[in-house]
């Protein structure tokens, strides 16, 4: 099963098409921005998937220097000027990471450490080199639950993410 999930993610990444990001293989739930609010510093939440909702579409960009599994930036599909950001963001130094810090929708900034994501070999999405992962807060799948950063932990199902093509 793990090979299948990695293969699906790799296929989605290789195509550069929009994808939906799902918690722990649950294709009924999606990662999205706060609905209908496309402004800087908006939160990133869990939502019931809706095939016509552009707020749930992401463009995962692999940089040329990343090996298989690398992500780079995760851009908002409806407006690629915005990126998924962990910690404070908009800084080239790591000052904002830590357990419970929110995930937000911010202007993309080249070199922003909070926008440098890595897809691990065990299906986690991590801030590159910092030990913090995209985390489903309290494992709660309720619509509107804000996502957070949390110390990466093997086997933590709140940190397992899969994708499907839009």
Cα–Cα distance for residue pair 4/11, rounded to 1 Å? 10
Cα–Cα distance for residue pair 115/106, rounded to 1 Å? 9
Q: Which of 33-37, 54-58, 71-75, 152-156 has the highest mean pLDDT?
A: 152-156
pLDDT digits (tens, 9 = 90+) for 109-133: 877 778 888 888 888 988 888 889 9
CATH pick for 2-165 out of 3.40.718.10, 2.60.40.10, 3.40.50.1220, 2.80.10.50 = 2.80.10.50
Cα–Cα distance for residue pair 93/62, rounded to 1 Å? 21
How many other CB atoms are there within 10 angstroms of residue 88's CB atom?
18
Q: How far is CA 47 from the centre of its chain?
A: 13
pTM above 0.75, yes or no: yes
pLDDT at 99 over 70: yes
With cut-offs at 50, 70 and 90, classify the pLDDT of residue 66: very low
pLDDT digits (tens, 9 = 90+) for 133-158: 999 999 999 999 999 999 999 989 99
Q: Which residue has better confidence, 136 or 54? A: 136
Q: What is the per-residue pLDDT for 5? A: 40
Cα–Cα distance for residue pair 37/129, rounded to 1 Å? 31
């Amino acid at each position: 099963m793990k090979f299948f999930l990695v293969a699906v993610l790799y296929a989605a990444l290789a195509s550069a098409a929009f994808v939906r990001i799902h918690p722990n293989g649950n294709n009924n739930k999606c990662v999205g921005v706060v609905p209908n609010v496309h402004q800087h510093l908006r939160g990133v939440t869990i939502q019931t998937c809706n095939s016509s909702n552009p707020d749930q579409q992401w463009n995962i960009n692999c940089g040329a220097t990343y090996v298989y599994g690398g992500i780079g930036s995760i851009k908002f599909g409806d407006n690629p000027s915005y990126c998924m950001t962990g910690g404070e963001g908009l800084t080239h130094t790591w000052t904002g990471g830590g357990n419970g810090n929110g995930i937000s929708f911010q202007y993309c900034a080249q070199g922003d450490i909070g926008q440098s994501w890595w897809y691990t070999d065990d299906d986690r999405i991590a801030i590159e080199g910092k030990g913090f992962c995209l985390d489903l807060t309290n494992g709660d799948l309720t619509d509107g639950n804000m996502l957070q950063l949390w110390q990466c932990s093997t086997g933590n199902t709140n940190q397992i993410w899969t994708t499907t093509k839009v």
